[in-house]
Structure 1
Amino acid sequence: MTSTTFEKTETTRSETDSTGGSQTVFEVRKDTVFQGYFRVDKYHLRHSLFAGGVSPVFTREIFERGHAAAVIPFCPETGRVLLIEQFRAGAYSAGMPCWQIEIVAGVIETSEQADELCRREAIEEAGCTLGRLESIGKYLMTPGGSSETVSIFCGEVSSHQEAESYGVEEENEDIRAFWLPVEDAFNWVKSNKISNAVTVIALQWLQLNLDSLTTTWSDATHVSAE
């Protein structure tokens, strides 16, 4: 369903850039040009210029699909991560491998916290329950055209229930979960066998923090990763 609503805001937002300088965004107007399951807003903006002064008013259409969270389940006792694989229509459209190797993820629902989403999706998508969570960071996915952010965590695996496939049938999910030694996972990133950006971020963080995280979690993790 396509619709257009007009909101005259004339709001400003000031920030400090990477050099310590002050920058300001002026939101002149915002229109909602599409409202369906997702939403598209058209912004009329101007902002400070690095060379001084302010830009003329320009427009940007922003895709609003909500915010997401993701978690990489990790077992320090076995040195393995629990990854998932599933069909992705976006990858098909882009001409990339359609069955993407990923970490557990989902869209955060109303009144749900990012860590709660991770625990729920870990059960739904991979059959595992999580203990402690370590925050990796919060990232913009495609800031040139979408407001979507993803909060990424590393999760301590407490238990794992093996099955041939996982996912919510009503959502047409068909997900395979599998254990992989961390060194193999790191090599898959290096060889581009893993082409999902969120998964790459999580694995590279784990590679940087593997020793300290293993030391912290190894005394309290109880899981069979066979």
Structure 2
Amino acid sequence: MPPAGAGDAARRGQPGASGERAPQAGAWEPAADLGVDTHDATGAADARASAGAADPRGTTDDTSDPRGTTDASDTRVTGGAADSPNSDDAADRPHTGQPGVDVPDRRGRTGLDRVGRDLDRNPRVVVRDVRVLTSNWFVTRATTFDFRHADGTWSTEERETYDRGDGATILLYDTAARTVLLTRQFRYPAYVNEHPDGMLIETAAGLLDADDAETAIRREAEEEIGAPVGDVERVFDVYMSPGSITERLHFFAAPYRHGDIAHGSRAGLAEEGEDIEVLELDFDDALARIGVDIVDAKTIMLLQWAALRGPFAPRA
């Protein structure tokens, strides 16, 4: 466990663009962020008292994260009076809560700020606080934790994580024909980051949702390629972007029969906005296109696995 005062140790985490340190857990936030009129501190204190002495940070626990979970726009104090659109008394205004924390988000979830608080597998890491930043379809959190470095010193760190759940992907191949089935579809995140048109060539893939990995990839292969999958081989499980994204991707491979799926056919779920083109490529052609128009990491990993250790690997 970290010694008392570890939270005051210098951060070795993620400085801001200007190089200043991120606020320590437990530190008082600037009054301007809370809409407090710093020229009338006495009036602000009176307003807090009239509203039940509520801490303007959204919590009455001084040891909690001072940023709390309450939007500053929900609890504003200006000029010594609680600012409410309907009443001069802030207590008259109902608290709407934060989606995904104490009220359901669009997917019906609550308690998303509890994720990670009970982690204890690594004695060098002590989780102190978890805040939900966004909870729309996926979840972004900021987690504060104490970390013991190799030299025995402790520092307090903060990391943002993007939680979209785990996923699975599969390479379908025909060794006799030396072909593979891939997909091409529009990916906005690639498009906004300098890809020429956002149309990425990929192996079939999707999120697990409530299914196990093998069930999920069978579902995705049928949806995205139109091919029912027989026996599958589990290749490996990989964290694709561990610096910020929690997703673990499960890799599979399975044979298909050349000619069963037409090159250029369309697939995907229209109700989910999918418009997917199915590509049947010569395996050697697919390898040659890595880094040219095949620039998706999971696809490159499966193609190289197939060439080195998988169905197209040289046989002794």
- Do Structure 1 and Structure 2 share a fold, with TM-score over 0.5? yes
Separation in 2 of the partners of 1:10 and 1:136?
Answer: 31
Aligned pair count reads 204
Structure 1, unaligned runs of 5 or more: 15-22, 216-226
Give the deviation of 1:178 after TM superposition: 1.6
Tell whether 2:112 aligns with 1:13.
Answer: no
Q: With CA pairs under 8 Å and 6+ residues apart, which has the higher RCO, 1 or 2?
A: 1
Task: Provide Cα deviations, 1:126-147, integer angstroms capped at 9, x if missing partner.
Answer: 1112222111211112211110
Residues 1:44 and 2:144 are matched in the alignment: yes
Aligned identity (percent) is: 26
Q: CA deviation at 1:208?
A: 0.6
Deviations 1:6-55 (A, max 9, x none): 659464322xxxxxxxx7222122122222211112111122323x2143
In structure 2, the gaps of 5 or more residues are 1-96, 102-112
Q: Would the alpha carbon gap of residues 214 and 156 (structure 1) be closer, same or farther in structure 2, given more than 3 Å must change?
A: farther
1:31 aligns with 2:131: yes
1:143 aligns with 2:242: yes
Deviation at 1:58, TM superposition (A): 1.3
Separation in structure 2 between the aligned mates of residue 116 and residue 214 of structure 1, nearest angstrom = 31
In the TM superposition, residue 210 of structure 1 has moved relative to its aligned partner by: 3.8
CA distance, structure 2, for counterparts of residue 136 and residue 168 of structure 1: 27
Quick check: which one's strand share is greater? 1
Q: Counterpart of 1:82 in 2: which secondary structure?
A: strand
Q: Could you say which structure has the larger radius of gyration?
A: 2
Deviation at 1:85, TM superposition (A): 0.5
- 1:197 Cα offset (Å): 0.5
SS at match of 1:56: strand
Question: What root-mean-square deviation, in Å, do the aligned CA atoms of Structure 1 and Structure 2 show?
Answer: 2.5
Aligned positions of 1:39-188 closer than 5 A:
39-50=139-150, 52-97=151-196, 98-110=198-210, 112-157=211-256, 160-162=260-262, 164-188=265-289
Question: What are the superposed Cα offsets for residues 173-220 of structure 1, whole Å, 9 maximum, x if unpaired?
Answer: 11111211111111111x4321101101111111112457798xxxxx
Give the distance between the partners of 1:134 and 1:94, measured in 2 at CA.
33
1:44-85 Cα distance to aligned partner (Å, 9 max, x none): 1122323x2143111111111111100010111211110111
Q: Give the Cα–Cα distance (whole angstroms) in 1 for the partners of residues 119 and 168 of structure 2.
A: 29
Mean CA deviation greater in 41-50 or 63-72: 41-50
Paired position in structure 1 for 2:87: none
Q: 1:182, 1:2 → 2: CA distance?
A: 50
2:307–2:313 Cα contact (<8 Å) kept: no
TM-score, normalising length from structure 2? 0.59
One-letter identity of the residue aligned with 2:272: E
**SS state at 2:206 partner:** strand
